[in-house]
Chain A
Amino acid sequence: MELTGAEIIIECLKAEDIDYVFGYPGGAVLHIYDAFYQQEEVQHILVRHEQGATHAADGYARSTGKPGVVLVTSGPGATNAVTGIATAYMDSIPMIVITGQVPSHLIGNDAFQEVDSVGITRPIVKHNFLIEDVKDIAMVFKKAFYVATTGRPGPVVIDIPKDITAEKTEFSYPSEINMRSYNPVVEVHTGQIKRAVDMMIGAERPMIYTGGGVILGNGSEQLRQMTRKLGFPITSTLMGLGAYPASDKQFVGMLGMHGTYEANMGMHHCDVLIAIGARFDDRVTGNLEKFCPGAKIIHVDVDPASISKNVKVDVPIVGEVVQVLEEFLAAIDKTKKTPNTAALKKWWNQIDEWRSQDCLKYDRDSEIIKPQFVLEKMFEITKGEAFVTSDVGQHQMFAAQYYGFDEPRRWINSGGLGTMGFGLPAAMGVQLAHPDDLVMCVTGEASIQMCIQELATCRQYDLPLKIINLNNRYMGMVRQWQEFFYEKRYAMSYMNALPDFVKLAESYGHVGIKVEKPADVVPALKEALSQKDRLVFLDFITDQEENVYPMIPAGAGLNEMILV
């Protein structure tokens, strides 16, 4: 039977086992929306802005490991999606973004709502396609899902002119795919595995440094086994939190610009660094010339381009994280070398001494609500089991520091691009994927306003999120930098004319609670959690000038932190 292009798109999504598509209709995608209307298997979630659609699909993908799917119209629909596509690209999130395009014969004519979507998105996608023939739709979708989800994952854009969605052809979804120019499967080099394991066993001051790649590659279980077997300290990037349990004593906390003292000092003084699924980002390394001066470096990554990009490594290993870690485990079991237990004991004593600095201490007796206090209580009350999304800024760092994640895919935030406005829509995607779980969005009064319109989407689909708004009336991180480096000239960082968030939440049909005293923090959190079926917006009026510590200023090494 012949199907229209629009119907074929739906069939492709079904074949890929997609349950949700996040989108917003418009002229160029009307045929596709009509096809959606006539079926019930793939549910369409109507957002209130295309940026929200991309972040929601992103949150869905991060929390499940499955690709998120977005559908937007041509022109402004596509340009509004750009921020979300770039966000996914920077954090290697599998996502398929279908953008409508003006009819084929009008392309290049500056037609109404025309934009070169393939051109605009080219630098922020893993790959993109412009479909030129209805017969190509099935193959392009097959390729798009394959490219988006294999190797180092990433977003793929499919641009479809309107006329092609109306044309008809026979549909059959390819069962297999072979692309001569894309071969993500790599053989792990056994010689390198042996070299790496010899180096690990011989280490006197080892440090395991893991990133988002462990989570994306589902390597958490193997990472735990290996770390415990070796007995080494382990730190994680912002993106990798949860791959190794935060509550475990071998975990020394997050590293980098706002990492713990023990993690950063451990990095600086280690003699063997084992980097797994991490990319030596500038927020992590600080000054490259001062980075890990005495360390031999082993680097495991699925993307060869990540290896020796910023930091020259001694043992590069390209491969899927699970496969490499399993080979590490086997090689550790086989090796006849024995670890230097005396040196390791001394190393742990040193780490414990750094740990005793208690770098995350803050004024727990404050009369005003400290943001750290809210996160600490939120962690206690939820037993660390919630899915937590965040926006970008101080609240994001506080959440990473004070909410201990014991499981992967629970901590969902925009690390690479640093997109304000990410938290609320991302939480919608997480909640849809995990309808029975607690999903909380940690945000600030500045970030939340960047995608506040999605409160309507939450109402429409009854998404009972718990929004933790750390309201300090400033763009906190901008203000902190202005305090430290611009002599407190707070240019444009004060959030004037704030809405009444309680009334705002209520006007969208949600519950709003304002919290102004530390003593009210716990009762408010409990109240919010007790309202299981409602979205509760908790507006915490926090200390205006609290800073995130520790902090590594620009140009400094990891051992040159500013402490409280």
Chain B
Amino acid sequence: MVYEENTTDAVEMRHIISIILENEAGALSRVAGLFSARAYNIESLTVAPTDDPSLSRMTLVTSGTDEVVEQVCKQLNKLIDVVKLVNLTDDVHVERELILIKVQAENEQRDEVKRIVDIFHGQVIDMTDTTYIIEVTGDSEKIDAVLKALEHMTMLEVERSGQLGMCRGDKGMV
């Protein structure tokens, strides 16, 4: 009663946001903390240093209404460690994600897994007598499709890297 009821029913969209931030202790937790404190969604988040070791690049996938995502971007920009932010969704861009799957592969399964991997232009990067580790790269739809194709097999481990993204064209981000 002290506060308003929530009455929004606007459409939520997926957004991919690329962030250059200071490569400092705590920078990642500032970003992650902002999302939990303000109840924003994070679908995936990847971060690593860039060619300039004093900077990190983070790619973040979130979903929300246009208003919420605008707030997300403004609040991220407010963080002192954030040097630059681009909502890639606003532009023509490429996205890539990598998946590693350890899948059971015995007898005739070995050929079938290999065939699926070939179809998705993936690779087998490790093997035992009974398993393969396969690697596939692509946008998230392709990665989802690989998982679907292997659904009937026994997957022992699945690990996705989360999205990376970059704008097309001749301009750099920094």
Interface string of A146-183 (1 = CB under 8 A from B): 01000000000000000000000000000000011110
User: Closest CB-CB distance, B49 to chain A, in whole Å?
Assistant: 15
Asked if B4 and A288 make an inter-chain contact with CB atoms under 8 angstroms apart, the answer reads yes
Q: Are B74 and A179 in contact (CB under 8 A)?
A: no
Q: Chain A residues near B81: list those with CB within 8 A.
A: 181
Within B65-81, the residues touching A (CB, 8 Å) are: 67, 70-71, 74-75, 77-78, 80-81
List residues of chain B with CB within 8 A of the CB of A555.
4-5
Pick the contact of B2: A126, A179, A305, A554 (CB < 8 A): A554
| A304: interface (CB < 8 Å) | yes
Is A44's beta carbon under 8 Å from chain B?
Answer: no
Contact of A305 among B3, B4, B74 (CB under 8 A): B74
Whether A305 contacts B80 by the Cβ 8 Å rule is no
- What 0/1 readout, one digit per residue, does chain B (12-52) give for beta carbons within 8 Å of chain A? 00000000011001100110011001000000000000000
Q: Does A294 contact B (CB under 8 A)?
A: no
Do B78 and A303 touch across chains, with their CB atoms under 8 A apart?
yes
Assess A179 versus B75: contact at CB under 8 Å? Given A554-B3, A555-B4. Answer: no
Q: Give which listed residue, A122, A288, A309, contacts B71 with CB less than 8 A.
A: A309
CA distance A303 to B5 in the complex (A): 26
Q: Is B124 located at the chain interface by the 8 A CB criterion?
A: no
Residue of A122, A180, A182 touching B33 (CB-CB under 8 A) = A122
Q: Which of A284-329 contact B (CB under 8 A)?
A: 287-289, 303-305, 308-309, 312
The answer, yes or no, to whether A118 is at the interface (CB within 8 Å) is yes
CA distance A485 to B3 in the complex (A): 13
Asked if B7 lies at the interface with its beta carbon under 8 angstroms from chain A, I say yes
Q: Decide if B82 is an interface residue (CB 8 Å cutoff).
A: yes
Report chain A residues within 8 Å CB of B3: 282, 554
Q: Are A181 and B74 in contact (CB under 8 A)?
A: no
> CB-nearest residue of chain A relative to B84?
A181
A181 and B67 in contact, given A130-B25, A554-B3 (Cβ under 8 angstroms):
no
CB-based contact B80/A126 at 8 Å: yes
Task: Indicate which residue in B1, B26, B70 contacts A130 across the interface (CB closer than 8 Å).
Answer: B26
Given A147-B80, A181-B80, A308-B67, A123-B75 contact (CB < 8 Å): no
Given A181-B81, A181-B82, CB of A554 within 8 Å of CB of B33: no
B75–A305 contact, CB under 8 A? yes
Q: How far is the CB of B70 from chain A (nearest CB, A)?
A: 7
B98 contacts the other chain (CB 8 A): no
Residues A123 and B4 in contact, CB atoms below 8 Å apart: no
Shortest beta-carbon distance, B112 to chain A, in Å? 49
Task: Judge whether B147 is part of the interface by a CB distance below 8 angstroms.
Answer: no
B117 CB to nearest A CB, Å:
42
Chain B residues with CB below 8 A from A289, complex form = 7
Query: Of A119, A182, A303, which is within 8 A of B29 by CB?
Result: A119
Q: Which of A123, A127, A181, A304 has its CB near the most chain B CB atoms (within 10 A)? A: A181
Q: Does B100 contact A (CB under 8 A)?
A: no
User: When the two chains form their complex, are residues B74 and A123 in contact, meaning their CB atoms are under 8 A apart?
Assistant: no
- Separation of A147 and B82 alpha carbons in the complex (Å): 14
| B83 contacts the other chain (CB 8 A) | yes
Chain A interface residue count, CB cutoff 8 Å, equals 26
* Chain A residue at minimal CB-CB distance from B75: A305
Asked whether A485 lies within 8 Å of B29 as measured between CB atoms, the reply is: no
Given A147-B80, A179-B80: A308 in contact with B70 (beta carbons within 8 A): yes
In the assembled complex, A481 has its CB within 8 A of some CB on chain B: yes
Q: Which residues of A contact B34 (CB under 8 A)?
A: 123
Contact flag A180-B83 (CB < 8 Å), given A481-B2, A554-B2: yes
> Which residue of chain B is the closest to A180 with respect to CB atoms?
B83
Chain A residues with Cβ below 8 Å from B26 are 118, 122, 130
Please give the distance in Å from B147's CB to the nearest CB on chain A.
36
Q: Chain A residues near B5 (CB, 8 Å)?
A: 555
Write out the residue numbers on chain B whose beta carbons fall within 8 Å of the beta carbon of A481.
1-2
Q: Are A181 and B83 in contact (CB under 8 A)?
A: yes
Q: Check A181 against B22 for contact (C-beta < 8 Å).
A: yes
Mask, A393-415, CB within 8 Å of B = 1, is 00000000000000000000000
Q: Which of A118, A180, A287, A312 contacts B4 (CB 8 A)?
A: A287
Of the candidates B3, B71, B78, B81, the one having the most CB atoms from chain A within 10 angstroms of its own CB is B78
> Are A485 and B1 interface neighbours, CB within 8 A?
yes
* Bitwise interface map of A from 176 to 201 toward B, beta carbon under 8 Å scored 1, else 0: 00011110000000000000000000
On chain B, the residues within 8 Å of A147 by CB distance are: 80
State the CA gap A123–B32 with chains docked (Å): 11
Measured in the bound complex, the distance between the Cα atoms of B5 and A182 in whole Å is 36
Query: B79-106: contact bitstring with A at CB < 8 Å (1 yes, 0 no)?
Result: 0111100000000000000000000000
**Chain B residues near A282 (CB-CB < 8 A):** 3-4
Bound Cα distance from A118 to B78, whole angstroms: 18
A142 to chain B, nearest CB (A): 14
Interface string of A77-111 (1 = CB under 8 A from B): 00000000000000000000000000000000000
A residues with a Cβ closer than 8 A to B are 118-119, 122-123, 126-127, 130, 147, 179-182, 282, 287-289, 303-305, 308-309, 312, 481, 485, 554-555
Given A309-B71, A554-B3, 7 more pairs with CB closer than 8 A: A119-B29, A122-B26, A303-B78, A304-B74, A305-B71, A481-B1, A554-B4
Pick the 6 closest A-B CB pairs, nearest first. Answer: A305-B74, A127-B80, A181-B83, A123-B37, A182-B80, A554-B1
29 A-B pairs whose Cβ atoms sit less than 8 Å apart in the complex: A118-B26, A122-B26, A122-B29, A122-B33, A123-B33, A123-B34, A130-B26, A179-B80, A181-B21, A181-B22, A181-B82, A181-B83, A282-B4, A304-B77, A305-B74, A305-B75, A305-B77, A305-B78, A308-B67, A308-B70, A309-B71, A481-B1, A481-B2, A485-B1, A554-B1, A554-B2, A554-B3, A554-B4, A555-B5
